[in-house]
Amino acid sequence: MERHNTAISMATLLFAFSSCVLAAPDNQRQAQLQHLLDQDCGACHGLYLTGGLGPPLTHEALAGKSRDSLIATVTLGRPGSAMPGWAALLAPDDIRWLVDRLLQGKPAP
Ligand code: HEC
């Protein structure tokens, strides 16, 4: 009986752990994030992210910038500038996905 319970709680732990680590946005969430990137981020950074009120976020423009600092910028915003923080609207995994998407380069339309 004792062993049986241990096995169950191990399985539960493992499940909780893997759902934490593997919480990348699913396909539907990715589509929503892509829409946000075009509409909301695009409102300031340009529809093709080539710059507007905000600086360009193209693959070339971001080359050499640290992923962590870009994640921090999107999460917290840049105080004193128009760049808002997105922590209230987006999960950390969403923000990581967006930054990786930007670093990979948004495909031309
Ligand atoms: C209201 C306008 C506005 C919106 C909306 C906006 N940004 Fe920004 N963003 C800015 C401005 C302005 C800066 C430059 C801040 C500065 O002067 O350092 C910036 C900077 C950035 C940077 C840093 C670029 C660099 O070269 O270091 C990233 C990354 C970024 N924004 C991503 C996003 C993403 C992703 C979104 C949508 C989720 C978004 N922004 C929405 C205005 C905006």
75 is in which domain, residue-wise?
A: 25-104
CATH number at 43 reads 1.10.760.10
Determine whether the shortest distance from the Cβ of 103 to ligand 1 is under 6 A. Answer: no
Mutational pocket test of ligand 1: of 32, 35, 40, 45, the residue with most ligand atoms within 8 Å of the beta carbon: 45
pLDDT digits (tens, 9 = 90+) for 44-97: 999 999 999 999 999 999 999 999 999 999 999 999 999 999 999 999 999 999
> Is residue 13 a part of any domain in this protein?
no
CB contact at 8 A, 37 and 101: yes
> Is residue 109 a part of any domain in this protein?
no
> Is residue 54 a part of any domain in this protein?
yes
pLDDT digits (tens, 9 = 90+) for 13-35: 444 444 444 578 999 999 999 99
Protein residue closest via CA to atom 6 of ligand 1: 41
Indicate the average pLDDT of the chain. Answer: 86
Cα(84)–Cα(27) distance, integer angstroms: 26
CB contact at 8 A, 35 and 96: no
Q: Give the pTM.
A: 0.82
Locate tokens 């589509």: which residue? 31
Determine whether the shortest distance from the Cβ of 63 to ligand 1 is under 6 A. Answer: no
